[in-house]
């Protein structure tokens, strides 16, 4: 028998997550110390890295994310694995996600202002309409079974994003493939995703697709976290911005492009293209995984389904608990800009510091009986959407999607149950669901 692998190694290995999240390993580490050292062993063909500090407790995760001067998003960007070259680092740093104040603050301010009250209320209205249409399609008729991940959860985030970005609906499949390539690069099923049918898209989509990289002889694609890896996305963003400047719509990106900041500065073409990249990825995969995760919570807890059907007013609180229980984004990374102490542990200048939302959201110091799924949990100060200056810009839209979708699903069913084994994504970053067979009674 081979000896048990050390907890940090298990937690780091993307293959672990195909079987499920190693909650017990995280709990052991969290109880032992506020931060754990995790060696970066070679995985999936990536070379070994220098290792990182994993921050496990709720209070420490907040404290890291609230101090961008000390725990920088820009210095080494926000993914565990370092960008391969200084050029690749320079490239990802053009995105607000990988900026620190004050650079970050300018873009954040412009973008926050583009989410006007009117634009947001229109988006909410459309989300409810999309959720209704999707459920009409799937839950009406004699079928009684489907793959929730593919047939229910995949389209709502795409339709919502298309509305936010002003992307014509027939092109939304492009967003699906792009975010698969970026987020799913650790999983062979997703890394070369090409589901979109150009014949169904606009001329803009066809022009962009002509630039799509082709997989190498081993099936691999160029690194999606470089500009060269995503030429089709950049071409599309460029064409879209030209179109929006010519003929502005009522979408957030049209508003953004028309805005000027205090000094009269406008969003540049490069800034727009990078924001498009960030939204296309951040707003899609997260929910494509979060919605099936929320469904699994309900499948495993039929009593919660009954309670929600009996009292739909419980939905807002239940949605928070579904998000906490699943925690679709498991980690984010910062880099220490100076020597400091975290929970008594000395952290060196330049060390990678990785916050575990998965662990923080099960911290027994904040959540009594944290493994329990309790739709009446109150308070529920989970960190699903992060904390501090980079707090998720799409949190409101994400919450609206969770609530709208499950109101529709529960309103049309009297029972929901598993109809087979779910399949999980191979990734140590997103807690992903690739297949979720469900059955229902109308």
| Contacts of residue 424, Cβ cutoff 8 Å, sequence gap at least 6 | 17, 18, 19, 20, 431, 432, 433, 434
- Near ligand HEM by CB under 6 A: residue from 78, 179, 305, 359: 78
| Binding region for ligand HEM (CB under 6 A) out of 132-140, 146-154, 304-312, 382-390 | 382-390
Using CB under 6 A as the criterion, what x/- string covers residues 325-364 for binding ligand HEM?
---xx--x--------------------------------
Q: What is the CA radius of gyration of the chain?
A: 21
Shorter beta-carbon distance to ligand HEM: residue 16 or 335: 335
Whether residue 277 contacts residue 230, with contact meaning beta carbons closer than 8 Å, is answered with: yes
Q: Is 417 in the site for ligand HEM (CB under 6 A)?
A: no
Structure tokens at 163: 């509305």
3-state SS assignment for residue 222: coil
Residue of 96, 51, 47 lying closest to 276 (CA atoms): 96
CA dist., res. 364 & res. 326, Å (int)? 16
| Binding region for ligand HEM (CB under 6 A) out of 227-235, 359-367, 370-378, 388-396 | 388-396
CA dist., res. 116 & res. 396, Å (int)? 13
Partnered with residue 55 across adjacent β-strands are 35, 355
- Near ligand HEM by CB under 6 A: residue from 120, 133, 194, 392: 392
Shorter beta-carbon distance to ligand HEM: residue 193 or 289: 289
Using CB under 6 A as the criterion, what x/- string covers residues 151-170 for binding ligand HEM?
-------------x------
- Near ligand HEM by CB under 6 A: residue from 88, 96, 192, 319: 96
Q: Pick out residues in 397-416 that bind ligand HEM (CB under 6 A).
A: 397-398
Q: How far is the CB of 312 from ligand HEM (least distance, A)?
A: 21
Q: Is 390 in the site for ligand HEM (CB under 6 A)?
A: yes
3-state SS assignment for residue 391: coil
| Contacts of residue 62, Cβ cutoff 8 Å, sequence gap at least 6 | 383, 387, 388
- Which residue number has the CB closest to ligand HEM? 394
Provide the angle, in degrees to the nearest 10, between the axes of the packed helices 285-300 and 395-412. Answer: 40
Interacting residue ranges for ligand HEM, rule: CB under 6 A = 65, 73, 78, 96-97, 108, 164, 278-279, 282-283, 286-287, 290, 328-329, 332, 384-386, 390, 392-394, 397-398
């Amino acid at each position: 028998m081979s000896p048990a692998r050390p907890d940090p190694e298990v937690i780091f290995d993307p293959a672990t997550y195909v079987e499920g999240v190693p909650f017990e390993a995280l709990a052991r580490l969290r109880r032992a110390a506020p931060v754990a050292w995790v060696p970066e062993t070679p995985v999936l063909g990536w070379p070994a890295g220098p290792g990182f500090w994993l921050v496990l407790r709720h209070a420490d995760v907040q404290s890291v994310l609230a101090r961008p001067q000390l725990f920088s998003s820009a210095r080494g960007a926000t993914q565990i694995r370092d960008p391969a070259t200084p050029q690749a680092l320079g490239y990802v740093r053009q995105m607000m996600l990988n900026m620190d104040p004050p650079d970050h603050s300018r873009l954040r301010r412009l973008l926050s202002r583009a989410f006007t009250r009117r634009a947001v209320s229109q988006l909410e209205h459309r989300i409810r309409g999309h959720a209704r249409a999707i459920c009409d399609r799937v839950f009406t008729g004699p079928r009684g079974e489907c793959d929730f991940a593919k047939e229910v959860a995949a389209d709502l985030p795409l339709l919502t994003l298309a509305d936010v970005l002003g992307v014509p609906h027939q092109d939304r499949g492009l967003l699906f493939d792009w975010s698969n390539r970026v987020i799913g690069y650790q999983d062979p099923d997703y890394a070369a995703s090409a589901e979109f049918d150009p014949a169904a898209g606009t001329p803009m989509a066809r022009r962009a697709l002509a630039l799509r990289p082709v997989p190498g002889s081993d099936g691999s694609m160029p690194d999606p976290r470089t500009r060269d890896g995503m030429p089709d996305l950049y071409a599309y963003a460029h064409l879209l911005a030209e179109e929006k400047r010519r003929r502005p719509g009522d979408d957030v990106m049209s508003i953004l492009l028309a805005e000027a900041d205090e000094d009269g500065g406008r969003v540049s073409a490069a800034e727009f293209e990078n924001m498009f990249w960030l939204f296309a990825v951040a707003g899609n995969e997260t929910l494509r995984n979060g919605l099936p995760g929320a469904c699994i919570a309900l499948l495993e807890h039929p009593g919660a389904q009954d309670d929600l059907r009996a009292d739909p007013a419980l939905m807002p609180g239940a949605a928070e608990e579904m998000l906490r229980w699943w925690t679709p984004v498991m980690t984010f990374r910062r880099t220490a800009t100076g020597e400091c102490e975290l929970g008594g542990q000395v952290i060196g200048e330049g060390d990678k510091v990785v916050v575990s939302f998965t662990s923080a959201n099960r911290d027994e110091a904040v959540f009594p009986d944290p493994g329990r799924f309790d739709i009446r949990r109150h308070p529920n100060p989970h960190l699903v959407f992060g904390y501090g200056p980079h707090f998720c810009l799409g949190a409101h839209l994400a919450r609206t999607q969770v609530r709208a979708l499950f109101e529709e699903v529960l309103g049309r069913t009297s029972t929901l149950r598993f109809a087979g084994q779910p399949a999980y994504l191979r990734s140590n970053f997103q807690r992903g669901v690739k297949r979720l067979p469900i059955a229902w009674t109308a």
